[in-house]
A and B are shown apart, each in its own frame.
Chain A
Amino acid sequence: MAGYNIPDTDYMVSGHVGCPGCGATIAMKFALKAMGEKTMVVIPACCWGVIAGPYPQSSLKVPILQTAFATAGATASGLRAALDMKGDSETTVMAWAGDGGTFDIGIQALSGAVERNEDFIYVCYDNEAYMNTGVQRSSATPFGSRTTTTPGKGWKKNRKKNMVEILAAHRIPYAATASIAYPEDMIRKFDKARRMKGGTRFIHVFATCPTGWRIPSEMSVKIARLAVQSNVFPLYEVENGVKYTINVEGSRPVADYFKIQGRFKHLTDEDFEKIQNMVDKDWELLLRKTSYFDRLT
């Protein structure tokens, strides 16, 4: 285990039906390594609704409650309340939703739960489109991407919604990004979130989708890493909405990340320049927040 401090026990099992190279399954594997057996997972409609196993199977060794698309935040709130009433403070409730269930249809229930500072971990594994239904755009789909509802020349011209900032604005104890390409960092964040009982912890996990992104399955982790290395998906943590910590500083050009993916293959150098500019500005903003709040605290 050179260099890694990664728990050996897995609570995900083989034989699930995730596509080859599925980033969302790697994400679950890492998350549960940190979470352990005293975890209940709430899953709304998403790829994991299928990967978790059809009747009579389960791909997890912890309890799963599947629920309606828009409801992860609310169902998790109810489950938490029930456990509290039963006197079970040890078990952690972990809502596990895709980007559709988090950024779009589920944002209301999530915001409601987060405003109440419900005591659970909410995880968005973000594969940047509605993959389970066949790659339709979501508000997590990045600028420049083709999907089946942003096809051809109609590739997405809008920016991706910045979910962590929305969550941080609720001033919850912990909001963080994580990547399947950085297992140690990701597991540390889940472990930290697990220990921070008493409020909502939100973790936004970047999870590649070889099928939807039109990338070779073996590049799944590599591309997730490139997203971090190019600051397209910065790894950072926000405590109480104000204390920003950047975990990795990227230095690669965004084109390194974009050019190897089929969903972006129509983009021109001019587009890359525009995207680079966006990413640079976002990064600059993140740095400013980090130093601004540092001065305040």
Chain B
Amino acid sequence: MKEVLEGSHAVSQAVRLAKVQVMSAYPITPQTHIVEALSEYCADGTMDARFICVESEHSAMAAVIGASSAGIRTFTATSSQGLALMHELLHWASAGRLPIVMAEVNRALAPGWNIWMDQTDSLAQRDTGWIQLYCEDGQEVLDTVLQAYRLAETVNLPVMVVLDAFFLSHTFEPVDIPGQDLVDRFLPPFSPKIALDTSDPFAIGQMAPPNVYMEMRRDVQKAMEQVLDIFSGVEQEFLNIFGRTYGPVERFYCDDARIIMVVTGTAAGTCRQVISDLRSKGEKVGMLKLKMFRPFPVNLIREDLGRVQKIAVVDRNFSFGASGIFAQEIRAALCNHPGHPPVFGYIAGLGGRDVTVDTLSEIYWKTKESDAPEDESVWVGLVNC
């Protein structure tokens, strides 16, 4: 059944359909609509679940860690400062191998206060051991949340489903909300591999001395290494039931492209328009939408980008003292690939600044007209002040 929903509510609907039993969150703009809707579902009995209104994001993650450790399907949502505050607990969730799913609304970090779109918050958590999936529209958000549970509960790693502040969280779009029966076919009840039990008592999370710590962390990585494979199976099943698929990366006019633009999130929608316009003018340009950031799909990147002439990466984030984070990761993925093309890194749309058709066109032409990148990162759309 199609409904016109804002992206936030696509998340809430997916959480409802996933029959999550314990949720905990602390309000932060622009995540609030997600948790408000979930609170209503709990209050009106739509969901048989507990929503724990904690006093901070740190506690929110701690609470879902507590619940997940008892073998219950859990959910939380946050953004920006909240995610930064959660940071410590993100490690607890992943190394505890708890299949928690979190919606993360990309928002800029203070100071000065800025509630608008920016990816630095989620990308700053890249080393925490969470799977990260970036979404373009409301439908993808809903579908990805459902897939995230399958994925998380299979590999025993937490998943962060990332959506742009306002551009996606607060934008109304038609979204197909699947029936519960179909969702139940796709996502059976949670059967935990780790669950505290008084009849079989054990301790979890206790001290791991040097003789075991490395092996435990190696296992997180081994699980990560299987994510791509497993995600493709999950997607195949999703496709069979719901008729939709996304892929860890999406290729748009890539087959004969000489320049490929790499984008994420809602910018991909804008970029599709730009590519179509450029193609109609005869430009050999394509787009690669990166959905999965962790694990980073190195082989797919090499396969898709290794033989083109130039790569233009649009980063709505920045790692100070280095470069845009997606560009950095793509460069790293390609560096051992013989004859790889130059990677042009562009920084655009930080702190809620719009990434328009013009912004992306400018990036394309700048790339086409330069033999080599003029800098590791070129900041686009700066206003002199």
Complex A–B touching at CB under 8 A? yes
Is residue A136 within 8 Å, beta carbon to beta carbon, of the partner chain?
no
Does residue A79 face the partner (Cβ distance < 8 Å to B)? yes
Binding site of B, secondary structure by majority: helix, strand, loop or mixed?
Answer: mixed
Tell me the smallest distance from the CB of B101 to a CB of chain A, in Å. 15
A75 interface contact, C-beta 8 A: yes
Contact between chains at A78 and B209 (CB < 8 Å): no
Range class of the A interface residue count: 35 or more
* Chain B contact residue count (CB 8 A cutoff): 42
Interface string of A109-124 (1 = CB under 8 A from B): 1011101100000000
CB pair A42–B66 under 8 Å, yes or no, is: yes
In the bound complex, do residue B56 and residue A109 qualify as a contact, i.e. CB atoms below 8 Å apart? yes
B110: CB under 8 A from chain A? no
> Which one of A60, A64, A67, A75 has the greatest number of beta carbons of chain B within 10 Å?
A75
Q: Is B201 an interface residue (CB 8 A)?
A: yes
Contact A82 B202 (CB under 8 A): no
The docked-state distance in angstroms from the alpha carbon of A54 to that of B213 is: 11
Q: How far is the CA of A113 from the CA of B21 in the complex (A)?
A: 19
State whether B22 touches A85 (Cβ < 8 A): yes
Q: Is the CB of A58 within 8 A of B203?
A: yes
Query: With A and B bound together, what is the CA distance between A111 and B203 in angstroms?
Result: 26
Name the one of B62, B72, B74, B212 contacting A67, with C-beta atoms under 8 angstroms: B62
User: In the complex, what's the smallest C-beta–C-beta distance from A212 to chain B, in angstroms?
Assistant: 20
Known: A78-B64, A108-B56. A86 touches B72 (CB 8 A): yes
Alpha-carbon gap, A75 to B197, bound state (A): 16
Residue ID in chain B nearest A44 by CB atoms: B62
Return A68 CB to nearest CB of chain B, in Å. 6
Say whether A70 faces chain B, with CB atoms less than 8 Å apart: yes
In the bound complex, what is the Cα–Cα distance between A79 and B70 (angstroms)? Answer: 6
The answer, yes or no, to whether A246 is at the interface (CB within 8 Å) is: no
CB contacts (< 8 Å) of B336 on chain A: these are: none
Partner of B53, one of A54, A70, A76, A116: A116
- Cα distance, A226 to B331, chains bound together (Å): 67
Chain B residue nearest to A66 in the complex (CB): B205
Interface code B44-81, partner A: CB below 8 Å = 1, 0 otherwise? Answer: 00001110111110111011111111111010000000
**Contact A74–B58 (Cβ < 8 Å):** yes
Nearest Cβ in chain A — how far from B197, in angstroms?
7
Residues of B within 8 A of A66 (CB): 203-206
Is the pair B50, A81 in contact by a Cβ cutoff of 8 Å?
Answer: yes
Question: A205–B337 Cα gap in the complex (Å)?
Answer: 62
In the bound complex, do residue B65 and residue A67 qualify as a contact, i.e. CB atoms below 8 Å apart? yes
Tell whether, in the assembled complex, residue A54 and residue B66 are in contact, meaning their CB atoms are under 8 Å apart. Answer: no
Q: Which 7 A-B pairs have the closest CB atoms?
A: A78-B66, A112-B55, A78-B63, A66-B205, A74-B59, A71-B62, A82-B70
Beyond the given pairs A67-B92, A74-B60, A82-B68, 12 more chain A to chain B contacts, judged by CB atoms under 8 angstroms and listed by A's residue number, are A37-B198, A40-B70, A49-B207, A66-B206, A68-B62, A71-B65, A73-B59, A78-B52, A79-B66, A81-B50, A82-B69, A84-B50
